[in-house]
Amino acid sequence: MKTHLLVVKGLFALGLLGMVGLVMGIPAVYAGGTASINKSPIDDQVRHNLLTLPWYGVFDNLEYQVNGSEVILSGQVISEHGQTQKDAENAVKRISGVTKVVNNIKILPPLPFDNQIRRAEYRTIFSQSTLGRYSMGAIPQIHIIVNGGHVTLEGTVMNEMDRNIAGIAANTVPDVFSVTNNLRIG
């Protein structure tokens, strides 16, 4: 009976933790971050299609801009997710009203050194007590882009303090040449 009660309490706690992430107001993810300045009906569809790509993850950054019926894709994906570049283009092409897709998504080179930095940055950033909530969900709010030892943080955080903590934490990882903090407050 005690074991059953512990299991029920544990499941309740996990459910509660998940709900806290939603209630805390974790901001809605922009696909990587850039939506068009003038919202159009196509915007939400592009965002949804990019966020549901099967290999899109924390080490990738997808951005888009909608200009009328044209969609310009940009950002970076790791080489292991190289198919995401074509998948993004194909997913956006299928949206009703889109007449042209410009695909400027860059596939990052497969450097073992960069993979080590990615793992270290992930551990360092998301182990910060105030930043752990941004790792919840299928696609974390903070994206860590590493290219040739240079780190760029992309995504959306809730406040300036979280933005600063992420930048400071990213700068503590050894062997990183530079950190650019492009995190937005949303």
Residue-wise pLDDT for 99-153, tens only, equals 999 999 999 999 999 999 999 999 999 999 999 999 988 888 999 999 999 999 9
Q: In whole angstroms, what is the distance from residue 62 CA to residue 85 CA? A: 9
Residue 74 lies in a domain: yes
Q: Quick one: pLDDT band at residue 7, thresholds 50, 70, 90?
A: very low
Residue 95 lies in a domain: yes
CATH code, domain with 85: 3.30.1340.30
Owning domain of residue 90: 41-108
Our CA angle for 113, 114, 116, nearest 5°, is 65
Residue 148 lies in a domain: no
The model's pTM is: 0.77
Return the axis-axis angle of helices 41-51 and 83-93, rounded to nearest 10°.
150
Residue 49 lies in a domain: yes
